[in-house]
Amino acid sequence: MDANDSKQIFGSWDGGLPGAGDISIDALIEDWEGFGVLVRNHVTNGVVRIAFDTHLAYQSRDESDFIGEAQRSEGFGHGRYGSFYRVRNSEFIARYLGNSLRGYTSSEVTHFAIVTGDQCIDVIALTKPRIEDLKDGLMDMAERSFQRTKP
């Protein structure tokens, strides 16, 4: 195996926000339903929930921690979906499998990364996440809230 065989490779995946360039993480939610990330596109004002029903581990870090990893990797910054990646030969998966007593292999899990200008969310999961468009639901909630506050 040469050095490129073990190098991390970032490949894009569809995170539900078309042309996701200027995005931010609104919230990380871990509860009885699983793990989810609320992501906002500031150009379109679209909001999606990326719901990981089978997450095994996640980490949240700022861009200064991520930059060295991106420089050691291939494919970051390229791809159709901008901020949403699947990572092959993942350092995070290797670290997780090396420290976990769960009996998974690297072929059973997937590393998903959501990278914004100031934050990186890494998730290891057994299956692809569900993408839920929340814009209409958020607008309905805001309208109901506004109606309750009117005199």
The number of angstroms, rounded, from the C-alpha of 2 to the middle of its chain's C-alpha atoms is: 29
* Residue showing tokens 């072929």: 107
Q: What is the pLDDT of residues 40-58, one digit of tens each?
A: 888 777 788 999 999 999 9
Q: Is the pLDDT of residue 110 over 80?
A: yes
Q: Is the pLDDT of residue 93 over 90?
A: yes
CB proximity list for 81: less than 8 A, separation 6 or greater: 12, 13, 14, 15, 20
Mean pLDDT of the chain: 78
Kindly report the pTM of this predicted structure: 0.78
- Between 45 and 99, the more confident residue is 99
Tell me, what's the pLDDT at 75? 58
Q: What is the pLDDT of residues 48-85, one digit of tens each?
A: 899 999 999 999 988 766 665 665 666 566 554 568 88
